Structure 1
Amino acid sequence: MAHVSHASHPDIIKRLRRADGHLHTVIQMMQSGRPCLDLAQQLHAIEKAVAAAKKVLIHDHIDHCLAHAAEGDPTEARQAMAEFKEITKYL
């Protein structure tokens, strides 16, 4: 199945860039000797941000790519189902 850019991709990119910047800040916090509790809280926030971006990406893929393929011929529908099974391991 060919890659298609979706309307949600710019938002996902913004989320990931924000998480990337946050991660760099946490590294600086570690280097400056900030308390572990502060670091753990910030790392948790980064995890949540990345997980939210992944969720939006996967849901968008299911809504647009797989739903469209399932409406096509039976071969495309079988391929879409196989792809759906494959992508669910990332949920």
Structure 2
Amino acid sequence: MKDNPHQSHPQITARLRRAHGHLAKVIAMLEEQAPCSDIAQQLFAVEKAIVKAKRVLIHDHIDHCLSSDRESSGPDIEDFKTITKYL
């Protein structure tokens, strides 16, 4: 495994596993014809978990991969533009 400064990856993985569980629940609820309001609530949980995981990933990338104290001459502006379009 390569040296990785992304200490947030285990946290992101945990969030995505929770989202995966919520999504599996949504599918089961649809198959069981659960009330739409209950399904919507579970979908909301999936959405929030994914949005939070994405935000943490992007902020971590900015902090660790685009910081000006890297070995290069400065932060990679194109990489910054690319990653921030996903916010």
Aligned residue runs from structure 1 range 7-46, under 5 A: 7-46=7-46
Unaligned runs of 5+ in 2: none
Q: Residue deviations 1:23-63, cap 9 Å, x none?
A: 00110011001011111111011101100000000001101
Instruction: Give the direction of change, closer, same or farther, for the CA distance of 1:46–1:61 in structure 2 (3 Å limit).
Output: same
Equivalent residue letter for 2:79: E
Equivalent residue letter for 2:7: A
Is 1:48 equivalent to 2:48 in the alignment?
Answer: yes
Deviation, 1:5, is 5.1
When the two structures are aligned, how many residues end up with a matched partner?
Answer: 85
Higher helix fraction (1 or 2): 1
Unaligned runs of 5+ in 1: none
- Runs of 4+ with deviation above 2 angstroms: 70-74
Highest RCO, 1 vs 2 (Cα 8 Å, sep ≥ 6): 2
Is 1:87 equivalent to 2:86 in the alignment?
Answer: no
% identity of equivalent residues:
56
Instruction: Give the direction of change, closer, same or farther, for the CA distance of 1:32–1:5 in structure 2 (3 Å limit).
Output: farther
Equivalent residue letter for 1:38: D
Instruction: Give TM-score, length-normalised by structure 2.
Output: 0.87
